[in-house]
Amino acid sequence: MKYNVIKVCSKPWFLGLLSVILLTTSNITLLMKVNTPTPLPDYLDTHNTTTICKYEDTPRVGRLDQNRQHIIFDSLFVGDNFWQLSQEKIVCLATLSTPDKLHWLPQVVTHWGGLVSLAIYLKDSEEQLFKSYLNYLYVCHSEIMANVSVHLIKPLVRHGDIYSRVSSYLSSEPPIIQCSNPTTVMKAFMKFRAKTVANKGVPQNHMRNVARKGCGTSYVITSDIDVIPSKNAEGQLETFLKRKESRECIKCVFVLPTFELDDQAIFPKSKSELLTLESKGRARPFHEKVFIHNQYATNFSRWRSSNTTNDIVISHPVTDFEFFYEPFYVSLDVVPPHDERFIGYGFTRNTQVYEMFLSGWKFYVLSPIFLIHWGLQRRSTRPGWRENENTKNRILFTNFKRELIARYKLDMKV
């Protein structure tokens, strides 16, 4: 295995480190009354980091969300190809992540093969981790980052000293980074994550809206960072969406069947490989065991038996919509936004899908394209805060539903 030591330019970390070194050397210099500056160790040579140091500092000025609880920095980093591609392409993948899940990004981008708009939610205490990891991605995977635009969302409240944990970082060795394996690098980085930081209060719906609007294309998929598209999904979808029948299908939601896959399996190269894995129990519909209603309305049995072609076709329409249906889909970017009153877990994706359903959007399942979530999901005990978020959102849902009924002039039975 080849390890590369790279210079991860994370400004505050480096400036902090640099100032410690400079202070130390100037003290020594004073004491010894010598004027020759001590050369910096190799890993601290920041002269050649201008091209590497994509991430500088968060700008001081962002925009606030409607509830004035979050601050949003749109298009904080824009990959070198992003603008050009956004002029040429009609579809873009909008995705969201917390800093601890960023290692999925390279796989998502390379499988997808086109534009990616990424919204990241960050607490101040995670800024170091985020900056360092993002810079690592820019250094080691610049061709991947070229297709990506990154947006940042932070809680508006300012908590404590954001650099408090840097001092412990300083005393450790410079990171040894293995370019080829983002997951290993993330594991190393996670050691610096404060134990108290859970993915609590994540404004998922804000992130989805921000990522979607950051796409700038006609069609958008809204996905999660750990959901991986089948190979060359973007190319196939561009072809499909440009067809006359697709273009004329305005209020159409094209569902991407989503599976979960055994961690040890090899990512299926085709629908038939996926079906083989499924027959061996190594893949199954996403959330089938944890919460079957999540994807049930997709009707996987019809998908399995529909013709396998190279080009994307509509396999079948969704006929039995359910309230808890949460498909990943591609649609025109004019679908209703994700309602930002729902924060954290519960009622986040499905309420948006529900609104589409109530307002007359039709759902069609595509084949042979698919999405994969790594790991067979098991029912596990969820942390109490997650249940609290769910309960809070269930209460908020009552008003949300009343508003939908008024907005779309529906009768109360729905």
Positions that interact with ligand NAG (CB under 6 A)? 48, 81, 85, 109-110, 113-114, 143-144, 147, 234, 296-297, 299, 301-302, 307, 319-320
* Three-state secondary-structure class, residue 198: coil
In whole angstroms, the minimum distance from the beta carbon of 114 to ligand NAG comes to 4
Relative orientation angle of helices 182-190 and 127-140, to the nearest 10 degrees? 160
Of 82 and 347, the one with the shorter C-beta distance to ligand NAG is 82
Of 220 and 404, the one with the shorter C-beta distance to ligand NAG is 220
In whole angstroms, the minimum distance from the beta carbon of 270 to ligand NAG comes to 16
Q: What distance in Å separates the CA atoms of residue 403 and residue 406, rounded to the nearest whole number? A: 5
Of 113 and 201, the one with the shorter C-beta distance to ligand NAG is 113
In whole angstroms, the minimum distance from the beta carbon of 109 to ligand NAG comes to 5
In whole angstroms, the minimum distance from the beta carbon of 300 to ligand NAG comes to 9
In whole angstroms, the minimum distance from the beta carbon of 99 to ligand NAG comes to 21
Of 85 and 177, the one with the shorter C-beta distance to ligand NAG is 85
> Which single residue is written with the structure tokens 């297709």?
147
DSSP 19-59: HHHHHHHHHHHHHHT--PPPPPPGGG-GGGGTTT-------
CB 228 within 8 A of CB 371: yes
In whole angstroms, the minimum distance from the beta carbon of 238 to ligand NAG comes to 8
For residue 368, cis peptide bond before it (omega within 30 degrees of 0): yes
Neighbours of 226 (CB within 10 A): 17
Of 113 and 336, the one with the shorter C-beta distance to ligand NAG is 113
CB 245 within 8 A of CB 150: no
Closest residue by Cα to residue 278 from 314, 303, 254 = 303
In whole angstroms, the minimum distance from the beta carbon of 60 to ligand NAG comes to 29
Of 100 and 234, the one with the shorter C-beta distance to ligand NAG is 234
> Torsion-angle region of residue 68: left (phi > 0), alpha (psi -120 to 50) or beta?
left
Of 175 and 336, the one with the shorter C-beta distance to ligand NAG is 175
Neighbours of 290 (CB within 10 A): 13
